[in-house]
Structure 1
Amino acid sequence: MGFDVKAMLMRRFREELEKLSSHSGDITSHTDYLASLLNDIEFEINVLRSSFALPHHAVSETVPDWVKDDNDAEDADFQLPEHLRGTGEDNGEEAVMNAILTKRLLAIAQAAEKARHGGKDAVYQTGCQALGISKATLLRKIKQVSAKPPRKQRVDYGTSALTRDEALLISGVITKSKRNNSKRLYSLEKTVNDLRANNLINAGHVDNETGEWFPLSVDAINRALYQYRLHPNQLRAPAPCIQLKTDHPNHVWQLDASLCVLYYLKNPEKV
Structure 2
Amino acid sequence: MATAPKPTHATREYLCELARRLEAAQHGGKGALLAEACALYGWSTGKLYAELERQAGWTSGRKTRADKGRTRQGEDALAMVAAMQRGSVRANGKQTMFTPVAASIAANNGQEIVVSTRQLNRLTRARRLNVRQQAESHAPVQLRSLHPNHVHQVDPSLCLVYYMRGEQKIIRDDEFYKNKLDRLAKVQFKCWRYVMYDHASGLVLPWYVTAAGESPLNLFKFLMHAWGQQPGRRFHGVPKVLMWDKGSANTASAVQNVLRALEVQSITHAPGNARAKGGVEGGNNLVETQFESRLRFDPVHNVEELNAAASAWAEAYNANAIPHQDTRLRRNGMEPVSRYDLWMKIRQDELRILPPFEVCQAFLEGKTVTRKVARDLTITFAHPRAGGSRIYNVAGLAGVCGGDTLEISPLLFGDCAISLRVPRFDGEDLVYRLEPEAQDLDAYGRPLSAPVIGETYARRPDSDADRAGKALDGLLFPGMTADQMDKARRSNAALMGGMVDAVRHLEHIEIPAALPRRGTDINVAAPLFEAPPLTHFEAAKALRSRGIERPDLHPWLVAQYPDGVPEAELDNVVATLRGTNQAPRLQAVG
TM-score after normalising by structure 1:
0.29
Q: Which structure has more strand as a fraction of its residues?
A: 2
Q: Which structure has more helix as a fraction of its residues?
A: 1
Indicate the structure (1 or 2) with the bigger Cα radius of gyration: 2
